[in-house]
Amino acid sequence: MSMVHDDALVGELFAELEQIGTVDAHEHLPTEEACLKEERDFFSLFQCYCPADLVSAGATDEDMAFLGDRQRAAGVRWERFKPLLSAIRTGAYARSALIVVRDVLGLEDLNDDTYEAVGEGLRDIHKPGLYDYILKERSNISACIQCWCLGSEPYPDYFYHLAPGPEVVDLHNRGALDALAKRCDHAVHTLDDVLECMTQVVEKWRANPKVVGIKSAHAYGRSLAFQKVNRSVAEDVFNKVLSNEGHALSTTEALPLQDYLMFQLVARAEAVGLPMVFHTGIQAGNYNRIANANPLLLQPILEEFPRAKIDLFHGGMPWVREVAILAKYFPGVHLNMAWMHIINAAQARSALAEWLDMVPNTKIFGFGGDYHTVEKVYGHLKIARQNVAMVLAEKIREGAYTRQEASMVARRLMRENPDRFYQLGLD
């Protein structure tokens, strides 16, 4: 962050970015009520995403259970954590946590002398008003787009929601069919019944002013290569589900039905003007199959719906260049930097610099915290603002942007683009 302090232009742009009421274009936060039931100590800052780095650094299942076991004294857990922290602290996942230690708690670092004070500091702010304090007062966030809620949960009024696409696409067993039937008060005996229910559910989502899009996270469990399949093929699978009673079909068996229903869902989302969100690129955690998440696999959907509002999450990391071509080709495709700045801050910067050269500046969303732990949204947003400031400063220096254009792009990335795309009505 010395670059921000040492470089006057970057510092000026960073200060300007802090003044922009930011749209946080992706979160997984529990309600504040649920959050306040969690315990807080030094390790709380490392229980979201950092576990993947800890495991990668060699932490065993037993280590992870030990570190998270708050029945044990903080001191013995700190001793076990210390060498692991040393291995991961220079990565961007941990950097966000250490920014919270410094800026929010006012402690120089997390170390032998401060691990107890870090716990105390987190417990001091862990009280009603925590969300407003972190998100509004400290972070200047104007709106959060929260994942997989239906808008009826008790979130602050600046939260908006993405509806869960799997509810109408992942119908691998009778239970899922029955749940769908219940949701729309319509019996499900045929594939046509499923489609009728899907229409109703999507219309209900559209009618809810808090629901601003529909999300698919299928890349966690299958390839993004949704194919256009014939109705009769989907119907055969559907009939198997019907006759299978409690027995779920395997992922592979269910694939043609899921493919068919995804095309049907995107068609309905487009018809009512709701954005579709796809997780693309790196999956959270360890051991997943990255090849499943290549954004280029979405080609058949994009060809079928070239103007549907589609938000591709995480820049398809590491396929940040491929995803930019998709946004250049297809009018509907937008790029969301959610999570990117803490997966790989350097790649987030180089990707943004390239995207700004090849994608309209109206189609990029500059920040999404993508966290379960609200305190860390502050740390992530600071890295994001530093990244955007550095990229824009470079554009000015190379003579590509005027100073005024840099300000215009900053406002679009951090606020206006997601506001308009998700129809939040902020401005």
By CB under 5 A, name the binding residues for Zn ion.
Answer: 370
- Nearer CB in complex with Zn ion: 311/416: 311
**Nearest distance from residue 267's CB to Zn ion, in Å?**
24
Q: What is the C-alpha to C-alpha distance for residues 370 and 399, in angstroms, rounded to an integer?
A: 34
Closest approach, Cβ 147 to Zn ion, in A, equals: 6
In the DSSP assignment, the letter for residue 41 is S
> CB of 348: closest distance to Zn ion in angstroms?
15
For Zn ion, give the closer residue by CB, 149 or 254.
149
Query: Under 8 Å CB-to-CB from 193, ≥6 apart: which residues?
Result: 181, 186, 187
Q: Which two tokens stand for residue 41?
A: 């100590």
Q: Which parts of 126-160 fold into alpha helices (H)?
A: 130-131
Residue nearest to Zn ion (CB): 370
Q: Please identify, using beta-carbon distances, which residue of 342 and 356 lies nearer to Zn ion.
A: 342
Q: State how far the Cα of 199 lies from the Cα of 272, in Å rounded to an integer.
A: 10
* CB 370, min distance to Zn ion, A: 4
Name which of 176 and 282 has its Cβ closer to Zn ion. 282
Shortest Å distance, C-beta 321 to Zn ion: 22
Query: Minimal distance in Å, beta carbon 285 to Zn ion?
Result: 12
Between residues 24 and 370, which has the closer beta carbon with respect to Zn ion? 370
* SS3 labels along 322-364: HHHHHHHHCCCEEEECCCHHHHCHHHHHHHHHHHHHHCCCCCE
User: Under 8 Å CB-to-CB from 304, ≥6 apart: which residues?
Assistant: 228, 263, 266
Nearest to 391 by CA among 345, 335, 326, 339: 345
Which tokens hold the place of 255?
């694939």
Helix (H, G, I), strand (E, B) or coil at 302: helix
Residue closest to 179 by CA, chosen among 205, 198, 207? 198
**Nearer to Zn ion by C-beta: 285 or 306?**
285
Give CA 194 to chain center in angstroms: 29
CA distance 54 to 367: 25
C-beta closer to Zn ion: residue 13 or 143: 143
Could you give the 3-state DSSP secondary structure of residue 294?
A: coil
State which residue, 115 or 371, has the beta carbon closest to Zn ion: 371
Nearest-approach distance from CB 215 to Zn ion, in angstroms:
8
Q: Tell me if 171 sits within 8 A of 191, measured CB to CB.
A: no
- The tokens describing 234, both together, are 């989907």
The distance of closest approach from Cβ of residue 265 to Zn ion in the complex, given in angstroms and rounded to an integer, is 19
